[in-house]
Amino acid sequence: MKENYLFSPKLSQKFSCSVPLKGTLQQFVINGKVQGEDKPFSLYLPQEKEMEDILQLISVRTSEVFRPIYSKKSFSASKDKEEKLELNLSSEYFFDNNSSARILLCSHTFSLDRFVTNENVSITLKEGASAEFIVMQNEHNKATHNTVFNVNIAEKAKLKMVFISLHGGVISNTLNVNMNGELAECDLSGLYLTDSKQMMTTKIDLNHLKPKCKSNQLFKGILDDYGVAKFYGRIIVSPDAQKTEAFQANHNLLISNNAKAYTRPQLEIYADDVKCSHGATIGRLNDLELFYMRTRGIPLYEARLLQQMAFAYEVLENISNEELKSRMQSLVERRMRGEFANCRNCSKNCC
Amino acid sequence: MLIIKELHASIGDKEILKGINLIVKPGEVHAIMGPNGSGKSTLSAVLAGRDNYNVTSGEVLFEGENLFDFSPEERSWKGLFLGFQYPIEIPGVTNVNFIKTAVNEHRKNKGLSPLSAAEFLKLMRERMAFVEMDSSFSSRGVNVGFSGGEKKRNEIFQMAMLEPKLAILDETDSGLDVDALRIVANGVNRLKRPENSTIVITHYQRLLDYIIPDFVHILYNGKIIKSAGKELAMEVEKRGYDWLING
């Protein structure tokens, strides 16, 4: 297991990732393989190991590697019917007893091909381990990215995950979380932004299997144009899991009349001494707040933007590293200003 | 500064303002008093440009221009300020970010470059002192978790930052204890310039002990039924509105 990942700037394509964050180790994963090695990424953190630096994994897909070879005949045919490039990825994170780490997962697609990525991420926290994942998803409109996170959390272990789904044709995040030991904690939050015809799906099964565990879910979305977001969240408290505290919230802000949000927050409780709640809202920008800002000379466009940033703030606030938080904030703001959406030729909208 | 001619306005089918006439000259302080439901807040909302009110007839000239030609933000840039009766809470937008955006939009409109961070902070500290606001307020969400008095102080602070030509203060005294009232009124008085005007909308005379009006108008049932000097406020305090309404 390599522990020191070095920033590898020699990437074949023009990659416009700005300077890495201070105290961040970078590792590129190209088409699912660790750069320079022919294997998928896996991290094993030994017992008691505390990783101080943030490990940033930049997962990029380039069509170069597996672009189908066209015969002259099929080349002309492919103009009408675009080739679909499908890729299956997997990665594994194992945090042994009392280890701790912070991971930043960035997902990008390089070329404008019609990518379909199916990804499987396994996250295991052993007793007393703690981990924070920031998942930044930023792909183009023709990309489909389905990710399944299988998460197992042991006694007294703590997991925090923040999803920032900035951009992407179809993004689907499925989380299967098992709270396998007493006093385990799991904090999941996410911000998704959709516009044009983008589709975002979040599916969560959060299984409380043992007593005294805590879980929290906060997912918020801002949907513009014809964007669609679906949220299926389920908290399952098994008969053994007394003293469970589990909360779930999904809030959607519709910016246009054509955007749609579907939300299904669900609770299944089989124990009798628990604290659980769930809630969901679908709303619009607040007219009175907008008016208040305008009377102070803030133009409507900026007022709307401020309000959206305010809505997003609660999720961004969960990013513990200040520098990373402010970078994510500015990315979200730029995204809301439509700076990415206007730039159709660029597929490298990364942080 | 401001000329209101035969202004009629309604919400839905209900007519609230039924022919308001008012002239405010530079440097003057006008008080508009009246019982609940007389149309005081509607008047301020219409002047600021709230969109669910329909102006059915009449006109308002602000420095010679038709006020209704402008959006709320344009009115602000031209120097109109409305102090809200119930200041709006905006969770997630910090006070500092809010007022900085507002100040820089005003500057942009005047063709000025945005203030540097240092210039802005200096100005903000100075103006916060006007209303004895603690600097910790700047990093909090706009009005979020503020007490009634803190919200009103925040209104006057915003006014101090934007330096309007005409400030309309809607029930700025409501929900204030004596100390907060004094602080708010002092803030308003410190901002007074010979060329700037103020319209104070209030229920009670007590604010007018601190902010001395040149004229007092009584609004009732959508019309100004009496105008006089500051002594009118005293009389209302003593005798109520009944003698004016029935008289």
**pLDDT attached to residue A297:** 96
Whether A239 is in a domain gets the answer yes
Query: Given B50, B81, B92, which is nearest A310 (Cβ)?
Result: B92
A-chain CB neighbours of B73 within 8 Å are 294-295, 297-300
A-chain CB neighbours of B106 within 8 Å are 297
Average pLDDT, chain A: 85
**Quick check: B56 contacting A, CB < 8 Å?**
no
pLDDT tens profile A16-31? 455 467 778 888 888 8
**Quick check: A305 contacting B, CB < 8 Å?**
no
Classify residue A79 as exposed, middle or buried by CB count within 10 Å of its CB (0-12, 13-18, 19+): exposed
Q: Cα–Cα distance between A208 and A246 in angstroms, integer?
A: 9
**pLDDT attached to residue A78:** 46
B-chain CB neighbours of A294 within 8 Å are 49, 71-73, 76
A-chain CB neighbours of B50 within 8 Å are 291
The residue of A220, A286, A289, A295 whose CB has the most chain B CBs within 10 angstroms, and thus the best one to mutate to test that interface, is A295
Who's near B136: CB < 8 A, 6+ residues apart? none
pLDDT tens profile A140-168? 888 899 999 999 999 999 999 999 999 88
For residue A349, what pLDDT band results from cuts at 50, 70 and 90?
Answer: very low
Which is more confident, A252 or A196? A252
Contact B102 A298 (CB under 8 A): yes
Contact A292 B87 (CB under 8 A): yes
**Residue A81, min C-alpha distance to chain B (Å):** 46
Percent of chain A with pLDDT over 70: 83
Whether A289 is in a domain gets the answer yes
User: Is the complex ipTM more than 0.90?
Assistant: yes
Whether A154 is in a domain gets the answer yes
**Tally of structural domains, chain A:** 1
**pLDDT attached to residue A64:** 57
Query: Given A295, A310, A313, which is nearest B76 (Cβ)?
Result: A295
Q: What is the pTM of this model?
A: 0.83
A-chain CB neighbours of B79 within 8 Å are none
**pLDDT attached to residue B184:** 85
**Quick check: B100 contacting A, CB < 8 Å?**
no
Residue with token string 């409507």: A300
Boundaries of domain holding A39: 25-344
Query: Given A299, A300, A311, which is nearest B92 (Cβ)?
Result: A311
Whether A318 is in a domain gets the answer yes
**pLDDT attached to residue A2:** 44
Handedness of CA B4, B42, B74, B140 (dihedral sign): positive
Whether A349 is in a domain gets the answer no
Interface A-B, measured as beta-carbon pairs within 8 A, has a size of: 75
**Residue B237, min C-alpha distance to chain A (Å):** 32
**Quick check: A298 contacting B, CB < 8 Å?**
yes
The closest of A337, A296, A317 to B143, measured between CA atoms, is A296
Whether A319 is in a domain gets the answer yes
Contact B76 A294 (CB under 8 A): yes
Query: Given B84, B87, B105, which is nearest A298 (Cβ)?
Result: B105
What is the chain A residue with the closest CA to B92? A310
Whether A275 is in a domain gets the answer yes
pLDDT tens profile A194-208? 998 999 999 999 999
What is the chain B residue with the closest CA to A305? B93
What is the chain B residue with the closest CA to A306? B93
For chain A, the three-class secondary structure string (H helix, E strand, C coil) is: CCCCCCCCCCCCCCCCCCCCCCCEEEEEEECCEECCCCCCCEEEECCCCEEEEEEEEEEEECCCCCCCCCCHHHHHHCCCCCCEEEEEEEEEEEECCCCEEEEEEEEEECCCCEEEEEEEEEEEECCCCEEEEEEEEECCCCCEEEEEEEEEECCCCEEEEEEEEEECCEEEEEEEEEECCCCCEEEEEEEEEECCCCEEEEEEEEEECCCCCEEEEEEEEEECCCCEEEEEEEEEECCCCCCCEEEEEEEEEECCCCCEEEEEEEEEECCCCCEEEEEEEEECCCHHHHHHHHHCCCCHHHHHHHHHHHHHHHHHCCCCCHHHHHHHHHHHHHHHCCCCCCCCCCCCCCC
Query: Given B73, B93, B162, which is nearest A306 (Cβ)?
Result: B93
Whether A10 is in a domain gets the answer no
pLDDT tens profile A113-139? 777 899 999 999 999 999 999 999 988
User: Cα separations (Å) of B144 from A69, B87, B92, B136?
Assistant: 60, 10, 9, 13
What the block records as the tokens of B192 is 């007074």
**pLDDT attached to residue A22:** 72
For residue B23, what pLDDT band results from cuts at 50, 70 and 90?
Answer: very high
User: Cα separations (Å) of B48 from A205, A291, B63, B85?
Assistant: 49, 9, 15, 13
Contact B92 A300 (CB under 8 A): no
